[in-house]
Structure 1
Amino acid sequence: MNIRQLEAFHATMETGSVTRAGEKLGISQPAVSKLLRAFADTCGFQLFVRSGAGLTPTLEARLLAGEVERMFSGTQRIARLADAVRKREWGEVSVAAPAALATRYLAHALAPFLAGQPDLHFTLQSRSSPRVTELVAAQQIDIGLSVLPFDHPHVDAEIIMRFAMVCILPVQHPLAGKQVIEIEDLRNEPFISLARDDCSLMSIDRAFQMRGVQKRNRIEVPLSETACGFVANGAGVSIAPPFVGLDYSDQIVRRKLLPEITMDVWLLTPNTRPPSLAAERLVDFVRAAVAPFDQRKAGHQPPSYRADAKIGNLKP
C-alpha cells in the first residue's frame, strides 16, 4: 500500500470513474486501473464492481473511503498551513516596546496588518526599555523596541527612527497659536511630567536647565498617554513623543519644540536563531509604521506639524 494507490482510490471514489480519476490525477486510465488492482491486492478484497459504464464501490471500499478521506483532508490542511507560512500569514510573533509606543500607537499602526493575518497570533507587551533589552537577550520575545542602545553578542540592533519630542498644549491655550514653542515659553506653565524612571525625563530636564528655566511640575504621571489626557482637559502642558495622544486630536495641539529633544528608537532581535517569516514581515511593517516620524529621512516633515494632517488619521 502506497500513497499513489491511495490517491487513485480516493479520486475514483470521488469521481465514480477511472477515466475521470485519471484526468484529476494527471495520469492515464490504465495507470489508474493498475494502481486500483494493486491496492485491492494489498487489501485482500474487491473494491469496485462494474455497473454499466461506471464503477460501484463495494461495502468494504466504502468502509475504507471514510478513513482515506480523513487522511487526505489532513494533507490538505498541511498544504494550506504550508501556504500560509510561506505567505507569512501564520505563526506567532511577540513584540515588547516602551509604553509610549505600545499603549496606543502600535495598536493603531499594526491593526491593518494583523486584520489581514487571521492565523497569526500576536503578543504585544508594554515594558520599559531596559526590560525590553533583557527580554530580547533572553530570547523571550521576537522583536523589541527600545529608546536605549544595546550591545549584546546575541542581539542584533539597528536604529529605525529618530524622533523629536513635541510640546503638547490644550487647543485653547494662549501658546497654541505659535508654530514653534521655545523652552522659555514654558516658564511658570503648569507642567505634566513623566515619572522619574522614564528614559525621556532626563533629556527634558536638561533642556530646561540649559535655558535656565525652572520647570513647574504640577502633576506626575506614569505614561505619555496619561499626560495627554491631562493636557486635553486643561490641567497643564507637557512634552511628549509626537505619536502619542491619538485619541485627543481635537483637544490638544502638538508644536515643534526648541531646543530640539531627539531620541532614537532601536529595533532589537535575537540573532541566535533565524526569525520566522511572520516576524520578518512584521518587522517590515513596524519600519513603515514609524517612518512618518523618522527625522533621518531626507526632507522629513513630521505629520503632526502639517496644517492639513491629523495625526489620528495616519496610515503608515
Structure 2
Amino acid sequence: MNLTQLTAFRAVMESATLSEAAEKLGRTQPAVSLAIRSLEEALGLKLFERRGRQLLPVPEAHYLHAESDDILNRLSNVADTMKSLINGQSGSLNVASMPGPSNYLFPRYISRVIGETPDVRISLSSRTSPQIRELAATQGLDFGFADMIGREASTTTFRQETISADCFCAMPKDHDLAAKDEIDWQDLDNLPLGLLQSTHHSHQKTVKALNDAGCTANVVLDCQFFLPIMSFISAGHCLSVVDPLTAVAEREVKMTNGQVVFRRMKAGFRYRYTIVFPIFRPMSQLARMVKDGWRAEVMELLTQVGANPSFTPTDPVPEP
C-alpha cells in the first residue's frame, strides 16, 4: 500500500460516487479507479462491489477505512508540525545571556519574537560570559549572548559572531562633564570610578587607556556587573566607563529615574559582544530565526544610542 492508494480509497469511501471522489482529490476518474484497483491487487481483496456507477464497500473496507483515516490524519499532523518547525512556530529553545541584557533587553526580545506561539518551549537563563562559552563548547544550548573575554572562538567546539561598539561614560546628571557631548580620557583623570572587577577585560582596558593618556585611574568601586554600579553613580559616589548596552538598559528601564546620564567615550577601546553557538548541535530553524533577530535587535539598539556598532560574522565551520 502507498499514500496515493490510501488517499484515493478514503475519498471513495467518503463520497457517493467515483466522480465525486475524483473531484475532491482534484484528479481524473480513471486515475482514482486505477488507484483503487492497484490497492485491491496489493491486498488480494476486492474492496468494493460495483453496482452501476456506485461502489459499495465490503465489510473489510470499513476496517481499512478506519485505519487508513488514522494513518492519513497522523501524516497530515506530522506535515503541519514540520511546517511549524521550519517556520519557527514550534519547537524548543535553550538560550542564555550574560547579566545585564538578561535582566530586561534579552527576555523582552524573546517574548516579543515568540509572540503568541504556544507551541514553543523556552529555557532562558542568566549566566556569566565564561559559563555561556562553556555551555556552547559542551553543546549545551542553542545560542548564548556574552561579552568578549579575550578567548577566541574554538574551531572544534563552538562558533561566535561578534558585535563591537563604542563605550560610554556614565555619570550623575548634574556632573560638570554632563555638559559635554563626548568624553576624553583626560576628563577622567583621578576622578572616582566604579568599574567591573579587576579580572574583567573592561576594567583592565579602562585602566590601561587612562594610563596611556598619562592619567590616574582612581578606582573606588569594583562590582561583578555594571547595573548595580548605577546606584552608586546616581548617589554621586563615582563615574564609570560602561558597555553601550548598559546605557540602553538604563534608558529603557529608568532604574535611576534619570539620575544617571551617558556620554560616548571619544576614543579608546571598543566593547565587544559575542553570540556563541555550538558546532556539533545543528541549529533549528527556530533557534536560527531568534539568533539572527537578536543580532539585528542589538545592532539597532546600539545604533539608537550612537554607539557606532559593527558586526563580524563567524567563519564557516571547517571541514572535518
- Fold shared, TM-score > 0.5 on shorter chain: yes
Q: CA deviation at 1:166?
A: 0.7
Asked whether the equivalents of residues 142 and 283 of structure 2 are also in contact (C-alpha less than 8 Å), the reply is yes
In the alignment, which of 239, 242, 247 is matched to residue 240 of structure 1? Answer: 242
**1:100 — aligned with what?**
100
Q: Deviations over 1:251-308 (max 9, x none)?
A: 13211124433222234333346433333333422331232477xxxxxxx42249xx
Q: Percent identity?
A: 25
**2:218 — aligned with what?**
215
In the alignment, which of 186, 199, 202 is matched to residue 201 of structure 2? Answer: 199
Q: CA deviation at 1:165?
A: 1.8
Q: CA deviation at 1:186?
A: 4.4
**1:279 — aligned with what?**
287
| CA spacing shift, 1:151–1:261, aligned 2, 3 Å | closer
| CA spacing shift, 1:22–1:241, aligned 2, 3 Å | same
Q: CA deviation at 1:7?
A: 1.0
| CA spacing shift, 1:229–1:56, aligned 2, 3 Å | farther
| CA spacing shift, 1:201–1:124, aligned 2, 3 Å | farther
Asked whether the equivalents of residues 163 and 262 of structure 1 are also in contact (C-alpha less than 8 Å), the reply is yes
Asked whether the equivalents of residues 49 and 58 of structure 1 are also in contact (C-alpha less than 8 Å), the reply is no
Q: CA deviation at 1:214?
A: 4.2
Asked whether the equivalents of residues 189 and 210 of structure 2 are also in contact (C-alpha less than 8 Å), the reply is no
Asked whether the equivalents of residues 159 and 279 of structure 2 are also in contact (C-alpha less than 8 Å), the reply is no
Q: CA deviation at 1:17?
A: 3.3
**2:298 — aligned with what?**
290
Secondary structure (helix, strand or coil) at the match of 1:200 reads helix
| CA spacing shift, 1:27–1:185, aligned 2, 3 Å | same
- Which structure 2 residue ranges, 5 or more long, are not aligned? 308-320
Asked whether the equivalents of residues 190 and 215 of structure 2 are also in contact (C-alpha less than 8 Å), the reply is no
Q: Deviations over 1:145-194 (max 9, x none)?
A: 44134242314645531112211234444433322234454467554433
Q: TM-score, normalised by structure 1?
A: 0.74
Counterpart AA for 2:23: E
Note the aligned Cα RMSD (angstroms).
3.7
Q: CA deviation at 1:75?
A: 0.7
| CA spacing shift, 1:39–1:272, aligned 2, 3 Å | closer
How do residues 44-123 of structure 1 correspond to structure 2 at under 5 angstroms?
Answer: 61-115=61-115, 119-123=119-123
**2:265 — aligned with what?**
257
**2:126 — aligned with what?**
126
**2:305 — aligned with what?**
304
Counterpart AA for 2:240: S
Distance in structure 2 (CA, Å) of the matches to 1:21 and 1:234: 81
Counterpart AA for 1:180: E
- Which structure 1 residue ranges, 5 or more long, are not aligned? 295-301, 307-316
Asked whether the equivalents of residues 95 and 123 of structure 2 are also in contact (C-alpha less than 8 Å), the reply is yes
Secondary structure (helix, strand or coil) at the match of 1:225 reads coil
Counterpart AA for 1:287: R
| CA spacing shift, 1:173–1:63, aligned 2, 3 Å | farther
Counterpart AA for 2:81: L
**2:19 — aligned with what?**
19
